[in-house]
Structure 1
């Protein structure tokens, strides 16, 4: 029977402990040949592989080349004491843990403390009982087993983390491409329709988001506006907004023979979500149709934050009654609100990413905060106003964006503004 499969005497090991996956290698260090042989025979019979070292220098060579699992070393030796050997052993770069046992005839507690401080795991007093030595080495093996399991677990974690990083890189690349596609849903950020001008703000909290804003000219005298905020975040919300954008494109497309009223458009969106999307998500919406010749606006507010109408005088009016989000109830009613934009007036439609922005102190911006921003920024117009509000919201929340930020600004330009724009456009030409 070969040494690798020779059975271990039952008394040599802990009966409640499973045998190791491999035979442990023990290094015995002692300048007494007789003592080395005595320990070697004891350990070999207990099922260990044993290497003998006649002096500390030989022992260190073995530690570097063979990486023994356990080291049993005498304290007093020529050239180097056992504690110094232990320190030198601990300095060797090696896989796994080497359990170090010092044997000494010293009984003073200070000496035992010195041995442990040198890095030894255990200190046994001579003469050593064979049974006690084997029990201490069995305890050392448990420590080594635990260390091996920890290292194996750590290696598995490192491998898993590397796989996750690779998967994350792939997902991030896909999300960047998805972001480009989603940005394509916002075809234009600003357009002037005669005396009317519509400007858009769209800042997702992540690479993609659940907000959608846009405008579209339905005929020579009608422009449709939509502001959508889908519940949740991430891919699901982004896919939801894409589906809503496609649905809107079909409901109020300019090629349709008649323009459906706002309430009909929102009811159709509600039915589509409930009938075909089969999801727990829902959306808040402001959908409006604006008559260019008169400035009249017909508007549906479906759970979205209240639009703000800022008059040329600077006064601000809260528009709408709130309404129900789309995608929750089949029999939901969507009430139409009408208003008229006079020259110098502007309509601001914001998502809750603006009104529900939270400061470092836990305070919410709210409608009053938005009112204050509109009043402070009254001299600004168009994209400059939207950028200023976006910056103010970011400052208020300490740069933390927990939700998508989107808005529509509709302005009925005054005569002076039209003249100024005509000069700018003429100079640019």
Structure 2
């Protein structure tokens, strides 16, 4: 960003009127606009009224000296980008260190050499203009980030609007969805396919941002609208059909993990399949039996076109509780401990089995998880579904 000399304003601060006139003549001879101040106090007043591009200031002056002027200029947010050159007859390194500590950008030794004066001024103007460019760039990046944050917040609200509400009846289902700052790829749903079959699934697309949210939203729409050309009662066939239509080379290298289950109320049987997703957890009401891990077998959707999936079955006891979740719930980066892992999370769920049956069970579980992680900020979306089978 080159500017003509006429657009450059230089404030010359010196209580020696003869020396000031000599420097003024040199600078005006190059076309610069020059303002004169014969004291530190008047220099600050002029600078605040009309911020200059560059200040040339004598170190030794009566009243406010050059160091005090420099310090005041650099502490003023409206003036701190102004290039400040101290004029001094001092040549010791210690003196220059003091000047630099006060915020001076450069030095000119007195008596001032005319050629060096102009060279230092040109250099200072270039640095000032470079700083202005960087500031404009920073402002633009800040503005873009604000727009992106707003778009991500709106996208998170949209994803949240797609998610199901609490269900009560022969199956009692509640859920929570907490998007990360960048928004991730979590999506889930649960609904009755017919009078006897209840579907539950949770998907998690790799990555963050809108690009991760789109695949999950697409999957959600296909399943909710029942437009997928496959029997939704068969978990393995559902995963196979989704994998066939979603290959990572066509989606910027993204893939999805997915747990899909169908509960038949008449037989109290849960049929499920998994595509690389963390295992669902289920336990009985009496608490006498250990928690079962409903792992399923199969690679994440989108990794391999010929991936195979297997439907497995699990008998559901009266009053059993099921937990389906995304890995963002336990893969938390902690400053004072290794990243959270699945076994640690399962142990915490074991401790909360009774709490999870309460109406606010999910909230209490999430509070326990947050406390266990030292209240660190979660870096990924996390979602969880709790189903109770009365």
Does TM, scored on the shorter chain, surpass 0.5? Answer: yes
Contact 1:314/1:378 (<8 A) preserved: no
- Mapped to 1, the partners of 2:371 and 2:282 lie a distance apart of 24
Give how far 1:167 is off.
3.0
Residue 310 of structure 1: aligned partner: 283
* 1:282 corresponds to which of 255, 279, 293: 255
Secondary structure of 1:342's match?
coil
Q: Give the alignment's TM-score, normalised by structure 1.
A: 0.69
> 2 CA distance for matches of 1:50 and 1:300?
77
Q: Which runs of 5+ in 2 are unaligned?
A: 74-78
Q: Is the 8 A contact 1:252 1:259 kept in 2?
A: no
- Is it true that 1:294 corresponds to 2:243 in the alignment? no
Pick one of 155, 165, 177 that aligns with 1:202.
177
Counterpart of 1:366 in structure 2 is 341
Q: 2:126 aligns with which of 149, 158, 181?
A: 149
Alignment match of 1:193 (pick from 169, 186, 189): 169
1:87 equivalent among 62, 65, 68: 65
CA deviation after TM superposition for structure 1 residue 332, in Å = 0.3
Local SS of the residue matching 1:191: coil
For 1:366 and 1:70, locate their aligned partners in 2 and report how far apart those are by CA, in whole Å. 59
Q: Aligned partners of 1:176 and 1:41: how far apart in 2?
A: 56
1:269 aligns with 2:246: no
For the residues of structure 2 that align with 1:41 and 1:221, how far apart are their CA atoms?
93
For residues 194-236 of structure 1, what are the alpha-carbon distances to aligned partners after superposition, in whole Å with 9 as ceiling and x for unaligned? 2x22222221222633111210100110001111011111111
CA drift at 1:331:
0.7
Distance 1:139 1:96, change over 3 A: farther
Q: Which has the larger radius of gyration?
A: 1
Q: CA RMSD in A?
A: 4.6
- Distance, in Å, in 1 between the alignment partners of 2:188 and 2:337 is 28
**1:396-422 Cα deviation digits (max 9, x unpaired):** 223320221112222222xxxxxxxxx
For 2:230 and 2:33, how far apart are their aligned partners in 1? 95
Once residues 70 and 359 of structure 1 are traced to their aligned partners in structure 2, the CA distance between those partners, rounded to angstroms, is 48
Equivalent of 1:165 in 134, 142, 147:
142
- Tell me the CA shift for residue 87 of structure 1: 1.6
Measure the CA separation in 2 of the matches of 1:212 and 1:168.
25
What is the 5 A alignment of 1:10-409?
21=5, 83-84=61-62, 87=65, 91=69, 96-97=82-83, 99=85, 101=87, 121-124=107-110, 133-134=112-113, 137-188=114-165, 190-194=166-170, 196-206=171-181, 208-251=183-226, 259-274=232-247, 277-312=250-285, 313-380=288-355, 381=357, 383-399=359-375, 400-409=377-386
Once residues 344 and 361 of structure 2 are traced to their aligned partners in structure 1, the CA distance between those partners, rounded to angstroms, is 15
Specify whether residues 84 and 245 from structure 1 end up closer, same or farther in structure 2 by C-alpha distance, changes over 3 A only: same
On the 8 A contact 2:231/2:238 being kept in 1, the answer is no
Partner of 2:219, secondary structure, is helix
Cα distance change on mapping 1:277 and 1:410 into 2, 3 Å: farther
* Contiguous gaps of at least 5 residues in structure 1: 1-19, 76-81, 414-429
Contact 2:276 2:300 in 1 (8 A): yes
Change beyond 3 A, Cα 1:83–1:239: same
Normalising by structure 2, what TM-score? 0.75
The answer on whether the counterparts of 1:284 and 1:325 sit within 8 Å (CA) in structure 2 is yes
Question: What is the aligned residue count?
Answer: 366
Change (3 A) 1:85 1:347: closer
Whether contact under 8 Å (2:167, 2:174) holds in the other structure is yes
